[in-house]
Amino acid sequence: MTLVELHRLLDSALRNTKNPVLVTITDISGDDELDFILSGAVEAARRWGARLSEIHLPLSRFSAATAAFPHILFFDSGDIGVMRLQYQPAGDEFPRLLRQKFVL
């Protein structure tokens, strides 16, 4: 799948959704590709009124991403080439509050 196809997939998945959306991406080649993926992921969330609530990625390899998007929770996926994007419908705060209460 190309990066443009990924952006189309995000638009399709987030369009008028009332449910959480989880997207798993494998084989991230480098920082440039990660920047393109994350900027598209954030833009798709804004465009469709969803909230990109969590990003799971190998923080040892991409630690600079957390500073670029301070409003999003980051977790270490541990997997070298795997990233997970978790979206919540607009106004749905329960998963974030649940994670803060029970995981921290």
CA distances from 5 to 1, 74, 80, 92 (A): 6, 24, 22, 27
| Count of domains for the chain | 1
**pLDDT per residue of the chain (104 residues) written in tens, 0 to 9:** 787 888 888 888 888 778 889 999 887 777 788 888 898 999 999 998 899 999 999 888 888 888 888 889 999 988 677 889 999 987 655 554 444 444 43
8 A C-beta contact, residue 74 and residue 55: yes
Q: Which residue's entry shows tokens 């929770």?
A: 73
pLDDT of 29 reads 77
CB-facing half-sphere around the CA of 61: CA atoms within 13 A:
19
Report d(CA 51, CA 87) in Å as an integer.
Answer: 5
Cα 100 to chain centroid, rounded: 18
pLDDT of 97 reads 45
Report d(CA 3, CA 8) in Å as an integer.
Answer: 9
The reported pTM is: 0.78
Range of the domain at 40: 3-102
